């Protein structure tokens, strides 16, 4: 695609890290038309919304992501490995480097993954709520007990 700069695996791929996950996610997003055409380029309509939410600040303006949120994004990218390989190849990335990086994409960055959507009482805005904001903002013991319980169970369903 013309005008899209290659953002794929510019550094050492012996250890895939947070920035690599962001670069890969942005690369696929740059080729995404919002699932208007069935061209096997970019995310499906649901994943496109989710990835944009993760790459942009949350509803409170928090931009920093915790490892569990990056892990959620990494897991999402696993569905798009063939597209990542094709797009990276189109940008001149050597095949052996692509294969090595995709293999590293299979390795978890955190023990669990999470993305939180919702709104707070008195706030009409609905959207992604960052885990960092949640951990910094809730000081009531009952809420923290629920968060800590969910962390141990690796599930956030029905917690908040």
Question: Which residue ranges make up each domain of the chain?
Answer: 1-160
Q: Is the pLDDT of residue 160 over 50?
A: no
The pLDDT value given to residue 75: 92
What is d(CA 106, CA 108) in angstroms, rounded to the nearest whole number?
6
Confidence of residue 35 (pLDDT cuts 50, 70, 90): low
Q: What is the pTM of this model?
A: 0.70
């Amino acid at each position: 695609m013309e005008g899209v700069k290659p953002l794929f695996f510019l550094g050492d791929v012996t250890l895939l890290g947070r920035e690599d996950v962001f670069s890969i996610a942005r690369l696929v997003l740059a080729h995404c038309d919002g699932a208007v055409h069935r061209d096997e380029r970019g995310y499906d309509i649901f994943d496109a919304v989710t990835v944009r939410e993760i790459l942009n600040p949350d509803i409170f303006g928090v931009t920093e992501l915790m490892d569990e949120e990056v892990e959620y994004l990494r897991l999402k990218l696993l569905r798009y490995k063939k597209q990542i390989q094709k797009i990276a190849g189109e940008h001149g990335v050597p095949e052996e480097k692509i294969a090595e990086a995709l293999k590293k994409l299979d390795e978890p960055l955190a023990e669990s993954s999470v993305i939180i959507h919702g709104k707070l009482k008195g706030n009409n805005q609905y959207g992604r709520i960052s885990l960092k904001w949640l951990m910094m903002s809730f000081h009531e013991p009952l809420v923290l007990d629920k968060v800590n319980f969910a962390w141990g169970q690796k599930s956030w369903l029905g917690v908040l």
